Structure 1
């Protein structure tokens, strides 16, 4: 399948077929190092978790094997971005929390991503930028809810 140029208006079906590959390309073109990309993902997953987050829960949320998540958590902990603490509901369980430095790093990543978004969309109107930002944020929230429902239906 050949991709349409951006100056052409693709058919609705073609536009919908291009969503998955486009989202994949966006992730690969993040304006940070792969190390920062992994850390940003870990920090956001932990910060956005509806409850306590374990290494196993992080691995499931990221779609990686537990040893991969464990190594990333160990690196983030060594750099002072995360800490392991006893669960408030079950003191035998260890959960993950962001440190102040982790919160600051998460804010730094967000600022870098906003700057990149503004540079990438410099030719867009302010209305287009806001509309895209709102729709992408809505998509992410709906995708999270859908994913959690899928996981609950499997259990």
Structure 2
């Protein structure tokens, strides 16, 4: 039986495992016929915009969500915009700022990645009792919300 003191080491073992799995070719694993624009950096930008709160999402919000420098986030957003995933518009509150919105193509990419994530979760714990799967999913969601906001 595992105790709560085993939680830290187990968490870091999982983080190391998933960090190795999240290679640049990860997109190919969930969509072999995916377009070349379905890259990990584009997915990160899409997820950051989708997960941001507030009525105007900016590059600064993407940088904050991803934990990266604003200039790096700006380059990533520019690439995602070139690939047709992000639309930039002028802020109604501050004409110096660009507001970011997702295109339908971005929403399709996000839905495909989330379906893959659900399949990965099911592959890991699908053999558990439904009650245990639901409880674990709830705890994971709670942890993500508390850590990532």
Q: In structure 2, what is the Cα distance between the partners aligned to 1:14 and 1:53?
A: 39
1:65 deviates by: 2.2
Matched, 1:40 2:32: no
Residue of structure 2 equivalent to 1:135: 139
Which of 11, 14, 38 aligns to 1:22? It is 14
- The number of residues matched between the two structures is 137
Residue of structure 2 equivalent to 1:12: 4
Unmatched segments (≥5 aa) in structure 1: 1-8, 146-155
Q: In structure 2, what is the Cα distance between the partners aligned to 1:56 and 1:41?
A: 14
Q: TM-score, normalised by structure 2?
A: 0.77
Matched, 1:95 2:99: yes
Farther-moved stretch of structure 1 (50-59 vs 106-115): 50-59
Unmatched segments (≥5 aa) in structure 2: 29-37
Larger radius of gyration: 1
1:122 deviates by: 2.8
Q: Tell me the SS of whatever aligns to 1:18.
A: helix
Q: In structure 2, what is the Cα distance between the partners aligned to 1:119 and 1:85?
A: 40
1:85 deviates by: 0.9
> For the aligned residues, what is the CA RMSD?
2.4
